[in-house]
Amino acid sequence: MPFDEFGQWSNLGNGEIYGNSFPEFKMQDKYIIVVDGSLRDTKFEEAIRAFQNWLCRLAKRIVVQDVFVRIGDGWDKSTIVENKNNVYLNMFEYPSWDLCNKDKIPAWSEYMYYECVKGSSYPLLLAYKYFEDDEVDKEVERRMTYRNKQIKT
């Protein structure tokens, strides 16, 4: 029995069990990213710095395991960027509920996650919109009142 991203039963999946939690949709979890670009009017050192900045930002947001990039086709010099000593892998910021986050400090991205209904993966605001649940209604209305007070001041 497959479940969707909200933990709700769905007949749209392929029926396979993925992982060791509860049955869900089988999804791809590994990707290859190919980067190709022409940086006109850019010096070699600027191109390396720009690529490194981009790669570091990416590595904080997703797990980057392998890196092999050559920079410098149009210049007289070139360099290879690799993931030596798992530098990029170690940049990933685990969310506060993950066992790998020993300090339990929220990751930068947690502000973007939706709030769930207590004991469920279902988004709080969708439950408020689509279901009749006094506890959910009371909580959402409390939050809306709080936000409205902030806006008025």
Render pLDDT for 13-23 as a digit per residue (tens, 0 to 9).
665 655 555 55
Model's pTM, two decimal places? 0.66
Comparing CA positions, the residue from 31, 8, 12, 30 lying closest to residue 131 is 8
Give the whole-number percent of the chain exceeding pLDDT 90: 42
61-107 pLDDT per residue, tens? 999 999 999 888 777 888 999 999 999 999 999 999 889 889 999 98
- Residue 126: which pLDDT band, with cuts at 50, 70 and 90? very high
First to last CA, the chain: 49
- Residue 145 tokens, joined: 């009142």
DSSP-derived secondary structure letter, 34: -
Mean pLDDT of the chain: 84
46-65 pLDDT per residue, tens? 989 999 999 999 999 999 99
Q: Residue 25 in contact with residue 3, Cβ under 8 Å?
A: yes
Distance CA 110, CA 123 (A): 14
Q: Which pLDDT score is estimated for 58?
A: 94
Mean pLDDT across 28-57 = 88
